[in-house]
Amino acid sequence: MMLRLLFLLSFVCLGTPFAYGQLGPVVNPTQAAALQSAAQQAAVSGEPFGVFSLDVPLPAGGQATDAAGNGLNILVGDSAGRVYFPTYEVITSRQLVPAQAGNRPGLGLGIGRPGGLVDRIRNAVQPESTVEDVPTAIRIHGLFTGSQNLDVQVEGDVSYKTSLAVTDPQQSPLGTAPHRDALARWWSAYVSHARSEFQRGDFPSLFHRYMLSMLSHRLNVPFAELAPAGEDKEESESITLKTLSLVAGIDARRESILEKLLSPNAPADLASQPLPPPPAWSEDLRLQAKRPVGALPEIEPIATRVPPECLYLRFGSFRNYVWFQEMGERFGGDLAQAIKMRGFNAEATARMEKMLATKLTTVAKMFGDQLVQDMALIGTDLYVKEGASLGVILHATNPALLITTTQSERKRAAAETPNAQLQTVQIGGRDVSLLSTPDNRIRSFFVADGNFLLVTTSEHIVARFLQVAGGDESLAGTPEFQWTRQWMPAAQDYSVFAYFSPRFLQELVSPKHQIELSRRLEALGRIEIATVASQAAKAEGLPSQSLLQLQAEGFLPEDFLESADGSRPILTRDGQWIDSIRGARGSFLPIADTQIAQVTASEASEYEETANFFSEQWQQMDPMVFGLRRFRGPEADHETVAVEGYIAPFDADKYGWIGKQLGAPTMTRFRQPESDLVSAQVHMRAGAGLASSDSDYYLLGGLKDARLPELDKVDGLLNKFTAFASVPIYIGAWPKPDLVESLPLGIGRNFS
């Protein structure tokens, strides 16, 4: 029967036949008939696969296409399921194609009456013909098993059936040369087609990278990269971009790691060096941030329990937390997902709830404010998608009732979750409740101290919470935070108040954090590759499930089991691949709880570049703070959200060109139309290069409330630009309004 390849995220049925492209018309039917009667066909047996090729004519009047055949949808197989990894290339011929009169300016527009002067002139004009490469057929290449005759079927946009006589190269006077040559032609076409598919972005790059790597290794053909040799590639990333790509989980960093894992002859270094030192941070910030003069600002009690190296996301009430969570669920619970607006929703919020063994029930939404007077999210990173070091601190109005309720929920979760264990562990001399599963899908610590309760995924955060409760410095006691509360006082009733301390930002680029972040991305890549490899083996009728078997049969690279920390994918009883050290994908062991004893030479060298950059160019991290307030609109279902943010102290030199454009803070404020959906104003520095001005000036802009175009649904670059230009945006300048005319790229002329 006909085999199919249905490509989903799980890469089901990897080895079965498929091919994509686009139909092209056969302009010369006589030539098409001749081609069909004398199609080139060949099939040579071999191990582990034989190779076949055949020419299939394209039907007359097919869908127009280019010579690359982009868009053709066909299925290639045989009745016995012996065909694997088909691909194709387009056969063209140089033909004289007459231009269509209706496509010429002024012709075919329905002007004039039939038989009139215009009609006679139109008929007298002979359209110019052009010589073009016209697709007339496709040449299908593929692999097959066995030595019997091969009955090939092509279905889809092209229908074709034929029986190929299989040649045994051992009985040929040319020996193995025909098989070798046919395999080389198949590989060239397969690589070219994979690169075309990759450029179109129809499948995740892992599919193409894995197939090229696996087939190259198994069939002993030259390794091919997705980017053709000699093609101009992007310049190597700067140290800043490399670091930010790790911190933000940018896809380009994941792509480079996948490429490394699937490249031949890329064994891991031995971890034999100590952890390198962190950047030499300047103490100037601590010296500058002296405590406020006079009375200290009012600081919320919950901040006195937060370690100063943790991020601090305070909600002020349980009601605000419910609102924030419901808003976050629309974006997958992940900041990176919200920015990218990808179709693949990571469901990070649900995973974190499960990992913490907490669930926002309807009862909690109704009575939360009666049990909780304040709450905050704390953590040492924000990698919610793969397993973050996060926790929730609750300031309880009735701690005894809240503790009893929480413990009851944890017992229920333990009873309902297979392999879950609820136990009491000792951390910092205190009894701490731990609810966990072996794969870390649930990893929830719970401890109470007075009126404050902590639920967290991280043992490290528990230890620091208890140390702060015992007298160590808290976030509330740092001068930077006290200064922040002077210009953003708690009395302003922020629905969400976010504070990223300098020590939190420094930890993000610490040696342990950066090296473990790279290692976990590699671990994630190994899990994905092992998943694809097991599916590929299964598609070929080889249900190999152990890494050693997959490696022996050529479905995994030879050095796949080598890693810097000794971790490797392992298969669970339910058929899921997990990391032997970090657990399941989406619930990795938090970075704060990992232990790194030694690092490899390459890890040490790469981090040394990072540390030197921050020591010489950055020197200190600036605290960042954001506040969000909500206001009821004139209508019941409308709400106004005001966001304010600060980076202080702000060192413009560290932020390059952007920082140099900004002028000093001023008390000047422009009143902009209340009908603006979003409005902003910026004080710009004179002579910084953005606009031609010999004195400081202000730029202001706004976006009117309107239904914005969905650019992803608009085809064509010109149409996208037209749709974007229709957005109601304005830009202005003061005290010289004409400055907008000198803004780069004509921005001022388009939107002012």
Residue 102 pLDDT grade (very low, low, confident, very high; cuts 50, 70, 90): very low
pLDDT in tens, 449-466: 999 999 999 999 999 999
| pLDDT over 50 (residue 332) | no
| pLDDT over 60 (residue 718) | no
| pLDDT of res. 749 | 52
Higher pLDDT, 58 or 608: 608
Which of 3-12, 43-52, 408-417, 710-719 bottoms out in mean pLDDT, i.e. has the lowest?
Answer: 3-12
Higher pLDDT, 475 or 709: 475
- Give the residue-averaged pLDDT of 301-312: 97
| pLDDT over 70 (residue 747) | no
| pLDDT over 90 (residue 15) | no
Q: Annotate 663-672 with b (16+ C-beta within 10 A) or e (fewer).
A: eeeeeeeeee
Nearest-angstrom CA–CA distance, 571 and 551:
15
Residue 205 pLDDT grade (very low, low, confident, very high; cuts 50, 70, 90): confident
Residue 290, CA distances (Å) to 141, 286, 471, 624, 665 in order = 73, 7, 21, 17, 21
| pLDDT over 50 (residue 95) | yes
| pLDDT over 80 (residue 180) | yes
Nearest-angstrom CA–CA distance, 599 and 246:
18
| pLDDT of res. 37 | 37
| pLDDT over 90 (residue 731) | no
Q: Are 579 and 566 in contact, with CB atoms under 8 Å apart?
A: no
Which of 265-279, 355-369, 677-691 bottoms out in mean pLDDT, i.e. has the lowest?
Answer: 355-369
Domain residue ranges of the chain, discontinuous segments joined by +? 19-201, 239-276+511-618, 297-500, 651-751
- Give the residue-averaged pLDDT of 228-234: 49
Residue 178 pLDDT grade (very low, low, confident, very high; cuts 50, 70, 90): confident
| pLDDT of res. 226 | 82
| pLDDT of res. 382 | 82
Amino acid at residue number 301: P
Instruction: Provide the mean pLDDT of the chain.
Output: 77
| pLDDT of res. 468 | 97
Contacts within 8 Å (CB) and 24+ apart, 202-209: 202/20, 203/7, 204/9, 205/255, 205/258, 206/258, 206/528, 206/529, 206/532, 207/7, 207/11, 207/14, 207/532, 209/258, 209/259, 209/262
pTM of the model: 0.74
Residue 123 pLDDT grade (very low, low, confident, very high; cuts 50, 70, 90): low
- Give the residue-averaged pLDDT of 357-375: 68
